[in-house]
Every structure is written in structure tokens, then in C-alpha cells.
Amino acid sequence: MASKLFSKAWRNDRTSNSLPEVFSSVNIPKDAGFWRKLLAFTGPGLMVAVGYMDPGNWATDIAGGAQFGYTLLSVILISNLFAIILQHLSLKLGIVAERDLAQACKDHFNPTTNFILWVFCEIAIAACDLAEVIGSAIALNLLFGIPLTWGVVITVVDVFIILFLQAKGFRYLESIVGGLIIVIFGCFAYEIILSKPDVFPILSGLVPQKEIITNPSMLYIAIGILGATVMPHNLYLHSSIVQTRNYERTPKGKKEAIKFATLDSTISLFLAFFINAAILIVAAATFHTTGNQDVADIHDAHKMLAPILGTTLASVFFAVALLASGQNSTLTGTLAGQIVMEGFLNIRLKPWLRRLITRLIAVIPALIVTILYGEQGTTNLLVLSQVILSMQLSFAVVPLVMFTGSKLKMGEFVNKRWLKILVWIIAVIIIVLNLYLLFETFFPS
């Protein structure tokens, strides 16, 4: 009965698969043990986690740590918990409905609403791509002395790197992403060891403080962290790439797929939490406690790490991690752009053209700001891009919560009552915080 209800729940025909070139392309061993199956499902969670440690996070985390010490650690933790729950809903939608979030919206809403949602999502992807372009350009500048303007132009080459990697197979792409995450993890583990942060202030920073809401400057950075952590385009991405697994398309097979995909996602996002928290902890331990609270610029942070920590390797590892972060985010951001365009508009451009358009939308404003305002302008643009992402988040979260809470659409896999209540509370918190930020931005007290 549930499957009959489910089949009637989606208006449009369901013949087109999300990312058809890699749909159901990764085999899942049927009679294998727990660990082999988990390994087979591991990958999409890592690709999603990449969005939670992109260069936009660096700008907000460095600014938060330098200005306010460990206080905003609680925001990173809460944002990460929000992310874990929302990504669970996203993967569940993809596995159960075999629709990505964009396709699900197209099936449910009228054309006008879909067009508006598509525009908002494209703005979010452009903001995310902007952060990646600037982050990669800054990293190239720090490591090799390449001018920022040339660094921005060089990032266009990323398009062709992505095409080459995807042609090798989706599993190969996931392996590259996983390898770069290990590089970032290793770099920040080293930075934390060098900075020797105090344990008790870190633990107290994990407890939310009222000041985060009452201080407009702190709230601005906090919502930037929320926007950088819970990425709207990741909800579209995850609902698509979980379908690359060749699990059994039966209620039993889908239940198992949800279990292993949730484990993959949760473990990966805790890894992203460590990296995000590490950036803020290093900034707090290195800059805030030494009286350098005004360090909110990636260039300044890179410059001051070596003299404060007493080794040039601190600055080198910082820049290497930033470059790995920018490259990783590029892989997933442009993939999300393809999913969104195909899902909402059913327009299937050639992959190289779609990715080139996405990248140019980010490169052009980054180039203009870099030429006109230099380093300071790029940092302000990074933080602003994360606030824009946070503003778009509601337009992805609300449909996702609606769909996964619908018995008609999800059948036996519908959200339990406690989960429905929880995710609506999360959605309301996100909406209220963003409205408050808008009010404080345009009508400062």
C-alpha cells in the first residue's frame, strides 16, 4: 500500500535519473559483512563534508576566533549537529524517492515557485563558488607568490580537472576528495599541536552564550559560520550522489542504504567539525590570546602564524590546507550546479559548458573585487558570501523538511513524529536568525 501511495505522490514522470552518467554505478557487495558494506557506502558523506570546510569557513572561523576567542565554538558545534540531521533527511529523500531535492521540488511545486527556488539555489552556489575561487587564489598567492588576480584566473582550469576526474569514475573522484580531506586534517592537527590551546576555555566555548545573540558583530560572524557550515547546495548534492550506489531498490535494500549512508555522512561531518573547530581554536589560541584580535584576514593570519608559533612550517601548512580546501570544494560545488540545473529546469548542458558557466559567475566578481580592493576586499567578500549562503538556506531546508515529513511521498520511511518536530524547530531557528540579521544589517541599533 505504501509503495502505491508513494508512486502517486510525484506528479512528473520519474524516468530520468539524477546524474544519469553515474547513477547506480558503485556496486554494493550483497553478502558482505558490516565493514565492507560501510566502505562501499563511504564516499558521498566525504564529498558533502567538503562543503563544511571550504575557504568560506576559514574567513568566518578566523574572524570569530581572533575577535571573540573560543566563544563561537558552540555555534560551530550546533551548526554541525544541524548539518548532520539535515543531511540525513537529504540522503533519505534520495534513497527512498530516487529523486534529488531539485527534482522533488520540480515534481511538487508550480513552475513559478520552482523558478524562484532555482534562482535562490544558483545564488547560493555562486556564493559558494566565489569563496572557493578566492580561497584558491589566496592559497596560490601565499604558497607561490602568484598575484591574486592571476590566481583567480587560474581557478578556471579547475573545470577541466573535474571533467578529467569524473571521466575516471565516481569512485575515483571520491578518493581524490578523501585524500585532500586527510591533507587538511593533518595540517590542522599540526597547527593545534603548535598553538597549544588551553583545554578548559575550549570546553567552556562549546556551551552557548547569550552574548552571541545580543552582540550584533558576534551574531554576524555566527550566522556566517552557520551559512558556511550548513550549506544549502549540499542538501541538493547529497540527495543525488547517494543514488550512485547500486543498492537493492526494495524497502529492505533502501532501509539498509539509509543506515550505511547515514553512518558515512555522520562520521564525515564530525571530521568536518574537527577541522572547523581547529581553525577557530588556532585563531583564538594564536591571535586572540596574544592581543591580535583585529586579525580577520587570511593573509594576516598566514603572516603572523610563523613568528607567533616560532616556525615557518606553521604558515606553509596553513596555506597547503587552504589550497586543498579550495580544490576540494570546487569538485563538489560545480557538481551541485549540474544537479540543480538538471533537476529544476531539466536542461542538460554539456558538463564542460555547465561548469564553465558556474565558474565564470564566480570568477568575474572575484576578479573585479580583487583588482579594485585587493586583499581586504577579498576577505570581506569571503565573509559576505557565507552570510548570503545562510540567507538561501531556508529555501532548501523547508522543502526538504516538507517532503521527508510527508507520508504520501515517503511511505513507511516518513520522518517519525519526534524528528518532524526537531527538524521544524531547526528550520524556524534558521529563518529567525536570518531575519534578525537582515534587521540588524539594515536597521542597526
DSSP 3-state of 278: helix
User: Per-residue b/e over 154-186, b at no fewer than 16 CB within 10 Å?
Assistant: ebeebbeebeebbeeebeebbebbbebbebbbe
Strand-pairing partners, residue 27, are 246
Q: Would you state the pLDDT for residue 4?
A: 41
- Report how many domains make up the chain: 1
Summarised one tens digit per residue, pLDDT across range 135-183 is 788 888 888 888 888 887 887 776 666 667 666 778 888 888 888 888 8
Q: Cell 520540480 maps to which residue?
A: 106
| Domain, as residue range, for 125 | 2-442
C-alpha angle with apex 389: 304 to 217, nearest 5 degrees? 55
Which residue type sits at 264?
D
Average pLDDT, 10 consecutive residues per value, the chain (445 residues): 46 66 85 89 90 73 86 91 94 93 91 88 78 80 84 74 70 85 87 86 89 83 72 88 92 94 94 88 84 68 75 82 78 79 78 69 72 67 68 85 93 94 90 72 64
Strand-pairing partners, residue 246, are 27
Please list, in sequence order, all residues whose beta carbon lies within 8 angstroms of the beta carbon of residue 17, skipping any fewer than 6 positions away: 23, 24, 98, 243
Minimal CA–CA distance to 243: which of 343, 125, 116?
Answer: 343
Which CATH number characterizes residue 348's domain? 1.20.1740.10
Alpha helix positions (H), 157-310:
158-167, 170-195, 199-205, 211-214, 216-229, 232-241, 251-286, 298-309
Q: Would you state the pLDDT for residue 378?
A: 67
Would you give the DSSP letter of residue 242?
Answer: G
Q: How far apart are CA 103 and CA 100, in angstroms?
A: 5
Q: Are 297 and 78 in contact (CB under 8 A)?
A: no
Cell output for 35: 565493514
pTM of the model: 0.87
Which residue type sits at 431?
I
Q: How far apart are CA 87 and CA 42, in angstroms?
A: 14
The DSSP H or E segment spanning 244 is: none
Q: Cell 516518513 maps to which residue?
A: 414
Q: Would you state the pLDDT for residue 382?
A: 66
Q: Would you state the pLDDT for residue 219?
A: 82
Which residue type sits at 302?
H
For 35, other C-beta atoms within 10 Å of its C-beta total: 8
Summarised one tens digit per residue, pLDDT across range 34-64 is 999 999 999 999 988 887 777 767 777 888 8
Q: Are 221 and 67 in contact (CB under 8 A)?
A: yes
Would you give the DSSP letter of residue 291?
Answer: T
